[in-house]
Structure 1
Amino acid sequence: MTLVPALLLFALYFHLRRKDRRMLRNGVVLVAACYLLLVQLGNLFTQWVPGASYVYLAVLALAPLAILALAAALIHNGVVMHRNEGRRLGNMVSLLLGLLLIGLPVLAVALVLTLNPLGVGLAALLFFLCSYFGVVFVVFLAYAVAYGRMPFREDPRGIVVLGSRLVDGKVPPLLRSRLDKALAIYRSTSPRPLLIPSGGQGADEPFPEGVAMGEYLVSAGAAPEDVVVEDRAVNTEQNLRLSAKAFAAAGRSGPLLAVTNNYHVLRAALLARRLQIDAEVVGSPTARYYLPSAFLREYVAVLVEHKWLHALLFLPFAGLTGVLVMAFIANRG
């Protein structure tokens, strides 16, 4: 019976979320609870529906086709990103992953067919690596979606709008969606919160992002006295930290709300917690074609920020690979 453990994990999830929703471990508990619930539903399905086991066999048989379909979709998205957003490494993430989904299984089979202990060990290591990072991605994506749908708890006293690149010195659609979301919250909140557009000047930008964002907010109806521009930040961590300082320097106090695009919400929330800033994060809409690469970039960024933790968690799999290689050598002997 997996129903009781699933219910206990759901209870733990809501407890942890109430305590602090800006923690990725909440996603681990949520995914584990959903997995156990699905296992229980699968068991009930097998008991109640004659021939259900054949359905599972069919699903397993179709799994390689599903992976190929996913790879094709990612490659297509990479081509669309290249066409619409230009040839930058960040825009090629979905294309690269699609190619890896095709190439890695072929490489693993080729390594196993060598019947060389080192080749078999590398194939096993590839399998464990892909499985581990695949599960981590499911956790990240599931909780990113869950967190992005949570309403903020308190009316904010300040709204930080995280910057992004200007195009020809103008606010592009991606950044405009953040500003429009911030304006909607600003207009519906009483007393009116302080608006803090945050972003420094990139090498290809004629002036800081924060300045252009502030002008947009005022031109859209925000009171000039309610807008304080932060124009030095060059990344999300600096956006949050410098904006919190600007908020305090303006003589304000209370909860902050950071506005970014929906794919960026969870990582921004994790950073706010690490910086000990009293801020929740909400997301604005993003063009659909942009989402796969954007979520993958955020996932990679979170992995890098917690690289030593993931290296530690992967050590047992590396040890298991060594055991398998030794067992293979022993059997051949």
Structure 2
Amino acid sequence: MQGDYLFYVKVGWLITTLFLIIFGTSYTYNRTWLRNGIWFNLFFYSFWLALALTILSTDNNAIIYPVGFLFLFVVFCIGLAFSLQAILLLWNAALVWRRESHSLANSLTLYLGIGILLLPFFTSLIRNHLPVFWADLFTTFPALCILYAIFWFYNYLTVLVLYQLYWPRHNKDFIIVLGAGLMNGDQVTPLLAQRINKGIQFYQRQSQKTDHAPKMIFSGGQGGDETIPEGEAMRQYAVAHGVAVNDALAETTSKTTYQNMQFSKKIIDDSPIKKPKTIFVTNNYHTFRAAIFARSVGLKAAGIGSKTAGFFLPNAVMREYIAIVMRQRKLHLIMVVLMFVFSLLLVILSLHSDWIANWIQAVRQFLDNL
């Protein structure tokens, strides 16, 4: 038995190392690949499995029992959070509604929480009022779609967290600060101020360390309810908070994050600096998708994120996830169609298991006659 454990331990650590190498290579090449999340999770869980096998191989109860109880406690906490997810979502929705506008974008946790609470009732209703075939189909297919969405949401959370692990060197030539809506037509909102302050903080630290002050590009056009462009309002705020006038540039044309990157890149390209080093600043929940846009316009820039109020994060992260999904909607639509076909086949086979038995019997007879 001990020899078997040692064999599995070696295999476990070999697989873990392989996944780590694949993840490291992929992440180093392109930090905006969603597949990085898959490789990291394969490494992460294989690591804990290999560690568990290693602990079991010691056959030392003084180590095995405490670690086992700790593992059960962690599993219990995860299970408790999962079972209370609807309540937690509705609690977050109540906080958001007290502090923010009652828009669709700020109501995602509310709708999701209500949906989770109503799901068992809908399932029961389908089971009790539809024929068995349709009841099985209309419960199996949505279940597969939910699992698919959860898988990609968890993967997205992984890459979003991984993207935050970035500490740029203070050798930048440009800092792009992405805009957001203004308050009262011309005032920087608290959320936007967090972005600007994060950029100013980097600007001041680099200036003190290297005597090379980067140029700050404040990117944002003028909305229909705004009296001045966001970029100009941001520039004025930054100058009032210690950024030199000559170091503060306003990009006032963009309307989207893609255009933020596109038009800011044009300003950088028009500068006399060869091979400029650039970073961008936005809120932490937005860094990953913004990095995708930066790469798509050919801008070599990684992002740093400013902190976001905890109550605001769930809705913001869900919005970002939906936006990421919509970028690959054709792929996901194909997967939904395939899941429907698979659900259909699964239901047919489960209701007609005799078909499988007959098919297996026919194959056996065919092989016996050869």
Is TM more than 0.5 here?
yes
1:124 aligns with 2:140: yes
2:66 and 2:205 map into 1 onto residues whose CA distance is 55
2:191 match: 174
**Aligned-residue offset at 1:130:** 1.0
Give the 3-state SS of the residue equivalent to 2:176 in structure 1: strand
1:74 aligns with 2:96: no
1:187 match: 204
1:136 aligns with 2:152: yes
Larger mean CA deviation between 36-45 and 86-95 belongs to: 36-45
Provide, for residues 303-331 of structure 1, a one-character-per-residue CA deviation record: whole Å limited to 9, x for no partner.
Answer: 11111122334454333212112113424
2:46 match: 36
2:53 and 2:134 map into 1 onto residues whose CA distance is 39
* Percentage identity across paired residues of the two chains: 28
TM-score for the superposition, normalised by structure 1 = 0.90
1:101 match: 116
2:322 match: 300
Whether the 8 Å CA contact 1:108–1:126 is kept in 2: the answer is no
1:252 and 1:272 map into 2 onto residues whose CA distance is 19
Whether the 8 Å CA contact 1:154–1:255 is kept in 2: the answer is no
Q: Which amino acid aligns with 2:282?
A: T
1:147 and 1:175 map into 2 onto residues whose CA distance is 20
Whether the 8 Å CA contact 2:170–2:205 is kept in 1: the answer is no
Whether the 8 Å CA contact 1:159–1:259 is kept in 2: the answer is yes
1:161 match: 177
1:90 to 87, 105, 110: 105
1:61 and 1:112 map into 2 onto residues whose CA distance is 30
Give the 3-state SS of the residue equivalent to 1:202 in structure 2: coil
2:74 and 2:240 map into 1 onto residues whose CA distance is 55
TM-score for the superposition, normalised by structure 2 = 0.81
1:4 to 10, 14, 37: 14
Larger mean CA deviation between 216-225 and 184-193 belongs to: 184-193
Distance 1:154 1:221, change over 3 A: closer
Whether the 8 Å CA contact 2:109–2:315 is kept in 1: the answer is yes
1:20 to 30, 42, 45: 30
2:233 to 212, 220, 225: 212
Distance 1:46 1:131, change over 3 A: farther
1:202 match: 223
- Structure 1: where are the runs of 5+ without partners? none
1:269 aligns with 2:291: yes
1:140 and 1:146 map into 2 onto residues whose CA distance is 10
Indicate the structure (1 or 2) with the bigger Cα radius of gyration: 2
1:52 and 1:219 map into 2 onto residues whose CA distance is 55
Whether the 8 Å CA contact 2:220–2:229 is kept in 1: the answer is yes
Distance 1:314 1:28, change over 3 A: farther
Whether the 8 Å CA contact 2:173–2:277 is kept in 1: the answer is yes
Give the 3-state SS of the residue equivalent to 1:211 in structure 2: helix
2:279 match: 257
Distance 1:158 1:58, change over 3 A: closer
Distance 1:63 1:117, change over 3 A: farther
1:154 and 1:52 map into 2 onto residues whose CA distance is 42
Give the 3-state SS of the residue equivalent to 2:303 in structure 1: strand
Give the 3-state SS of the residue equivalent to 2:326 in structure 1: helix
Provide, for residues 261-316 of structure 1, a one-character-per-residue CA deviation record: whole Å limited to 9, x for no partner.
Answer: 01111111122122221111110111111111111111111011111122334454
**Aligned-residue offset at 1:107:** 2.4
